[in-house]
């Protein structure tokens, strides 16, 4: 099965870059990266040392509902080019493992789909989950902090 890794939509990133408020109604915080582990959810690359980035609460779901997880993410402070959806693992995925979890077309967690998966095994696990009819899409989340990383869909 072909899959594609998707970044945060450019429209969403542009709203944050333009001073828009985050999921908690707060203005994103600005910081300077030390170059260690600051993954941008738009270009799906690490924010380089000395570059500014935003920290904000993000809800990667279309509406508030019990399963609409909200949490902290990083985003380049200046506009960056969106990651081109592809089957290639995004370069920001540098940890040894991540949570991969399936969601229904109603944006609900599908119990039994979530697993901590070694990074190199993510494409195979994702393909297995996306072969199921009840799985509409997947999230990759931090295995240590549950922070949203990116979305996976069928290509």
> Which burial class, exposed, middle or buried, applies to 90 when counting CB atoms under 10 A from its CB (0-12, 13-18, 19+)?
buried
Going by pLDDT thresholds of 50, 70 and 90, the confidence category of residue 1 is confident
Residue 96 DSSP class: S
Beta strand 71-76 with 97-103: parallel, antiparallel or unpaired? unpaired
Q: What confidence tens digit (pLDDT) does each residue in 37-74 have? A: 999 999 999 999 999 999 999 999 999 999 999 999 99
Going by pLDDT thresholds of 50, 70 and 90, the confidence category of residue 148 is very high
The pLDDT value recorded for residue 137 is 98
Query: pTM here?
Result: 0.95
Give the helix ranges, DSSP H, for 6-118.
Answer: 10-17
Ramachandran angles phi, psi of 17, nearest 5°: -60, -30
| CB-CB contact of 42 with 73 (8 Å) | no
Round to whole Å and give the CA distance between 113 and 101.
Answer: 5
A 10 A CB-CB count for 75 gives 25
Measure CA 131 to chain center.
Answer: 21
Geometric angle at alpha carbon 55, from 106 and 22, rounded to 5°: 50
Pick the closest to residue 50 from 36, 63, 64 (CA basis). 36
Measure CA 155 to chain center.
Answer: 17
| CB-CB contact of 75 with 116 (8 Å) | no
Q: What confidence tens digit (pLDDT) does each residue in 10-28 have? A: 999 999 999 999 999 999 9
């Amino acid at each position: 099965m072909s899959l594609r890794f998707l970044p945060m939509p450019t429209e969403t990133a542009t709203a944050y870059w333009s001073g828009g408020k985050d999921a908690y109604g707060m203005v994103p915080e600005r910081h300077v990266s030390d170059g260690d582990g600051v993954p941008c959810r738009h270009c799906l690359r690490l924010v380089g040392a000395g570059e500014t980035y935003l920290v904000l609460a993000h809800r990667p779901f279309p509406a508030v509902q019990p399963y609409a997880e909200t949490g902290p993410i990083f985003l380049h402070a200046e506009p960056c080019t969106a990651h081109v959806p592809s089957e290639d693992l995004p370069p920001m995925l540098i940890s040894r493992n991540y949570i991969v979890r399936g969601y229904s077309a109603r944006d609900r967690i599908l119990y039994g789909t979530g697993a901590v998966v070694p990074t190199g095994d993510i494409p195979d696990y994702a393909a297995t989950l996306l072969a199921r009819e009840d799985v509409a899409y997947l999230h990759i989340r931090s295995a240590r902090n549950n922070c949203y990383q990116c979305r996976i869909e069928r290509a």
